[in-house]
Amino acid sequence: MLENVPRYDMQKPPMRQHLRFLIRLLSQPDLIKHKNTLRKIGMEGINPPYLLLCNHNAFMDFKVASKAVFPHRANFVVAIDGFLKREWLLRFIGCICTRKFVNDVQLVMQLKRVIKRGDIAAIYPEARYSLCGTTAVLPDSIGKLAKFLGVPVVVLMCHGHHINSPFYSLPDHGVKGTQAEMTCIAGKDDVKRLSAEELNARIRKAFIYDDFAWQKENNVRVTYEKRAEGLHKVLYQCPHCRAEYRMNSEGTRLFCQKCGKAWEMDELGELHALEGETEFSHVPDWYEWERMNVRREVENGTYRYDLPVHVSALPNSKGYIDIGKARLVHDKDGFCLKGIAQGEPYCVTIPAADIYSCHIEYEYLGKYGDCVDLNTPTDTLYIYPEGEDFAVTKIALATEELYEFVRAKG
């Protein structure tokens, strides 16, 4: 596909970070606005080089990270769409380009270069914004990476960013009192002594978070009048009538267009049914209920999507290339995308065992609606399903459940 189009040069060595004082200065207004506090735990004597792992809920994560590492230099891993039309700038400030959820050996070597020159290698291992303010899937390879780099492992955990600007509703909700902790979870000697599996266990433990629980525990009230708007993108299945793809939202209300049941989101982020039982007051509980339903479909072999789609590609940082109509199948075998590009038929397949999660977007760029972002080593494909009988959130959940199911079967 698109054989004549140049690809982003992933092999070009990353530059050392420039403009770090300016980056820190530009980040400060938002941190002051949201009254952000940062605690450092076990960081005494921990200086670069080290591996920095950060949770990911909103763009403000990067601003807190700039505060956390200052005045040291850090190279941040950024997905290719972040380089769009500004590759020169992101390279200049030390960013390293990757494509999400692919085995990227070149990225590992770039991170090793960063460590060898004495800087901070910064990664967002969830590789996407959290859909509901809880931990997204972490790759098994992260422990192996830590062993390979051989430097201390530091975790930066931010709280309140999902509540302030959730993935389904990006405008600033005006949250004040956001918090972050920067913790060294493994010193250099620990990294040398522990196995990759033991490091994985420490990292996963450090990455347990729940922004909605944090909100309630800290009595953080959100008065934003559209705080529930967009939530139906995540909570796509009605727990009352079990219908899928008929949820909607407006203002502070979430409702099912099939059975009419509605829920109100209060200022502490809890849901309350306007009539009858409140099936789930905690948003992540509803999301995990959807996951369990998808898991059952995977286990009994009934999960399958076969959808007409529209496809755009991002082979480099210059801009999106419209590919046009195609067909996407997602089932027990994984993803299969078939279409025609530049007059030639193509077929992109990604086996379920090769993709532990996938990236999705809601109303991406205001073009064709929600999309699934699939990557190969040389292409990033934005796939927009057509019609109403689908949820990209379900596709993301199914990707994770299929991977676990296939792995468990051996």
Q: What is the per-residue pLDDT across 337-365, written as a single tens digit (0 to 9) for each?
A: 999 998 899 999 999 999 999 999 999 98
Could you tell me if 199 and 143 are in contact, meaning their C-beta atoms sit under 8 angstroms apart?
yes
The 10s digit of each residue's pLDDT in 294-312 is 999 999 999 999 999 999 9
Nearest-angstrom CA–CA distance, 108 and 406? 26
Amino acid at the residue 31: L
At residue 1, the pLDDT reads 73
Task: Give residue 29's pLDDT band: very low, low, confident or very high (50, 70, 90).
Answer: very high
pLDDT at residue 258 greater than cutoff 90: yes
Give the pLDDT of residue 343: 87
Residue 282 has pLDDT above 80, yes or no: yes
Q: Express as a percent the part of the chain with pLDDT over 70.
A: 100
User: Whole-angstrom Cα distance, residue 167 to residue 285?
Assistant: 17
Residue 409: pLDDT band with limits 50, 70, 90:
confident
Q: List every span in the chain annotated with CATH 2.30.29.30.
A: 304-409
Q: What is the pLDDT of residue 366?
A: 84
Contact 52, 121 (CB under 8 A): yes
Please tell me the predicted confidence (pLDDT) of residue 34.
98
Q: What is the average per-residue pLDDT within 116-127?
A: 97
Residue 47 CB neighbours (<10 A): 10
- Among 395, 387, 407, 410, which residue's Cα sits nearest to residue 360? 395
Using pLDDT thresholds of 50, 70 and 90, give the confidence band for residue 4.
confident
Q: What is the pLDDT of residues 143-202, one digit of tens each?
A: 999 999 999 999 999 999 999 999 999 999 999 999 999 999 999 999 999 999 999 999
* Local structure of residue 280 (DSSP, 8 states): -
Non-local CB neighbours of 247 within 8 Å, separated by 6+ positions:
232, 235, 236, 237, 238, 254, 255, 256, 257
Strands (DSSP E) contained in 233-379 are 247-250, 253-256, 262-265, 271-273, 305-313, 321-331, 334-341, 344-351, 359-361, 371-375
Q: Does the pLDDT at position 228 exceed 80?
A: yes
Average pLDDT, the chain: 96
349 touches 363 (CB < 8 A): no
pLDDT at 367 over 90: no
For the domain made up of 304-409, give the CATH fold. PH-domain like (2.30.29)
Cβ neighbors of 239 (< 8 A, separation 6 or more) are 279, 280, 286, 289
Q: What pTM, to 2 d.p., does this model score?
A: 0.96
